[in-house]
Structure 1
């Protein structure tokens, strides 16, 4: 996570970040036949049913209201995963895992929780003009504590410029941003663009600026995840 933080140092005090992209909204589809083939190619446990459970979840919630999609995706991810640092799981300081990698291990850190939640919600019909992966500084030890650490959450914005609700690996509750006074946003991004702090204009391509994001998107495509313009 430290390697990402040094890329952009602009911070702002609110989580009211831009939601309108210059591009058309993007959704995602998952070819689970390809995912299963890659799962076996990786040598993951063929008896593990979590991939079937993930597919069943996404099919079940596709027609549900948005708040129910958020609730069920968040619940699934928290039930399926345990929090584990990259240094313990991957023997690396910072590694952004694909949903397949995360589900196979049954654990991950904040980015891994956010990435599978993001892909799940895109697959369930929410477009990425309403979703942001938000890189923040999280205050540890209470409101007066000077101690912060890098962290990532997922923001859902019901309308452009609205206050988001946040999905977080550190808690199962989905809360509006105003209640997360422990978080200070640094930048946000989606499948194609990146925004620094609270600036309204795009700061450029997310894949060009964030090499871990570019790498995990490429891995996801090889595992059956397709990002496509929503019609």
Structure 2
């Protein structure tokens, strides 16, 4: 079996205190968010904010989760990935929210029917959790995505969702820019910066980063709080 790409492995030199703080903070909020999601409230909020179109998409989302409840985990990944990639438009935050960097809740994302890579990744993550995929198997991964051909030196910030069938396995990558779910080893265009879930923060081996984990995770906490208010 080929060894995992080193940038996708958990790096032991991550600052211990930062990881503990991240884990504790996110775990507390996640516990409140996912203890008892009120899907009827979520649908009602969608109708109030976004009208019938927004509510209809939430209804379709609920039906999708019900229909996929019996599937295996790999099948759930494809089921959820296809739902969002086929129904939602990829737009930047300036176009959708008139802000440089805004992380939308799944409800806001569906209400606008458009969003950027963070919004796709968050919506898929939350949905898979609701469908019973263990949180330990899911991480949101910040990457630098190469633009152009194999020899290009241009890249831009991007987020994908990673699924780890086992802790030592390479992740399967759910990406809004590519319809198929592929193993990380086949995504040479992606260079991971850091990843996170409620169990901790994983940082690449680089000494410098193009993204600030503290700032990014602050936005993540804000998303979780808004989700709690919406009924998640």
TM-score, normalised via structure 1 length: 0.81
Give yes or no for contact 1:17–1:161 (8 Å, CA) kept in 2.
no
Equivalent of 1:45 in 41, 45, 51: 51
Q: Given the alignment of the two structures, is residue 154 of structure 1 paired with residue 147 of structure 2, yes or no?
A: no
- Structure 2: distance between partners of 1:17 and 1:53: 36
Equivalent of 2:65 in 58, 67, 78: 58
- Structure 1: distance between partners of 2:84 and 2:157: 21
Give yes or no for contact 2:10–2:203 (8 Å, CA) kept in 1.
no
Equivalent of 1:174 in 175, 181, 185: 181
Quote the offset at 1:59 in angstroms: 1.3
Instruction: Classify the secondary structure of the residue corresponding to 2:135.
Output: coil
Stretches of structure 2 lacking an aligned partner (at least 5 in a row):
12-19, 207-212
Quote the offset at 1:13 in angstroms: 5.0
Give yes or no for contact 2:142–2:192 (8 Å, CA) kept in 1.
yes
Instruction: Classify the secondary structure of the residue corresponding to 1:54.
Output: helix
TM-score, normalised via structure 2 length: 0.80
Equivalent of 1:82 in 89, 96, 106: 89
Q: From the two aligned structures, give the one with the greater strand fraction.
A: 1
Let me know the Cα RMSD of the aligned residues.
Answer: 2.6
Q: Given the alignment of the two structures, is residue 14 of structure 1 paired with residue 7 of structure 2, yes or no?
A: yes
Stretches of structure 1 lacking an aligned partner (at least 5 in a row):
1-11, 200-205, 226-231
Partner of 1:125: 132
- Structure 2: distance between partners of 1:15 and 1:45: 42
Q: Give the alignment of 1:89-108 within 5 angstroms.
A: 89-108=96-115
- Structure 2: distance between partners of 1:192 and 1:152: 18
Q: From the two aligned structures, give the one with the greater helix fraction.
A: 2
Equivalent of 2:117 in 89, 92, 110: 110
Higher RCO (C-alpha 8 Å, min separation 6): 1
Equivalent pairs, count:
205
